[in-house]
Amino acid sequence: MKNRIALRLSYDGTNYAGWQRQKNAVTVQEVVEAALLKLTGEQITIAGASRTDAGVHASGQVAHFDTASSIPGDRFCLALNTFLPPDIRVMSSTQADADFHSRFNAVRKTYRYTICNAPVAHALYNNRAWHVRPPLDTNAMRKAAESLIGEHDFAAFRAAGGQPVRSTVRRVEHVELQLPSPDENLLNLVITGSGFLYNMVRIIAGTLVYVGMGKLPPDVISQMIATKNRKLGGPTAPPQGLILCSVEYPNGGLP
C-alpha cells in the first residue's frame, strides 16, 4: 500500500525552466523527483499546485506524490533536503489523505510581484524584481487594481501557449500595492485568488506599471475585463519579479 505525501517547497527559479518537467531543460519538478529516487529508490512523479514559469520563484509551492517508502511523512522534509541543491528546499512535509491533490484541492493562491522603481536597479534584486526606471503613480495603479476584485472572466489576462482550460472565469479576493522598503524603492503587488490563468499575474503587473507610467488609463482593467481584449493592456512583466507565496486548502494548511 502506498502513502500519499504532501510537501511545501521554496525555490529560487533563476536556474530552472519552470516547475514542470521538460525534455530539454532542467526544471524544479525534475530535480525533486531525482532526489526522491535517491532517497526511496522509486521512480516517483510529483504533482505541483502551480506550474510556475522559467525564472519564477516560490516560497509556498505545494506538491504531492505516492510512495511505498516507510519514511514517516514529517521526516521527508529533512531527508529530501540532503539530496536537493540549496536553491530548492522542502519547508515541511506530511502524510496526506489518499484523495488529496495539491492542485485540484487548492482553494486559493497568493502571488507577489516585486518592482524596483528607481533610476538604477538594486543589485540584490537582480533576480527578484522588475526594474522600472520612470517614477510610478501608485495612486493610479491602486485605482486600476480595484477593478480586479470579484469574480470575472479574465480572458484578456491570459497569454497564449498555456494549458487548455475549461473556463477563464476566476475570483480575485484581495489585491494590494505595498511599499515594503521605501529606501530600496520597492513596490510589491500582492494578489490572492481562487486561481490564475497562464501569465495572468504578470499581465496584471505589466498593465498596472503602464498605468503608473501614464501610458494607460486607470480604467484599463475594467475595459479589458469587459471586452476580453488582451491588446488593450500592458506588456507581460518579466518572470523574475514573481513569487508564489502560498497555496491554501479547505483545512487551512497542508492536509
User: Tens digit of pLDDT for each residue in 213-245?
Assistant: 999 999 999 999 999 999 999 999 999 999 999
Q: What is the pLDDT of residue 37?
A: 98
Find residue 67's DSSP bridge partners.
3
C-alpha cell of 50?
502551480
d(CA 45, CA 70): 18
**E strand intervals along the chain:** 3-11, 47-48, 57-67, 88-96, 108-117, 130-132, 150-153, 169-178, 186-193, 242-248
| 88 close to 37: Cβ distance less than 8 angstroms | no
Q: What is the pLDDT of residue 253?
A: 63
d(CA 174, CA 191): 6
- The answer to whether the Cα torsion of 129, 135, 138, 144 is positive or negative is negative
Q: What is the pLDDT of residue 162?
A: 67
What are the tens digits of pLDDT across the range 3-56? Answer: 999 999 999 999 999 999 999 999 999 999 999 999 999 999 999 999 999 999
Domains of the chain: 3-105 (3.30.70.580), 108-247 (3.30.70.660)
53 labelled catalytic: yes
pTM more than 0.85 = yes
From the list 53, 97, 137, 219, the catalytic residue is 53
The tally of CA atoms less than 13 A away on the side-chain side of residue 148 is 28
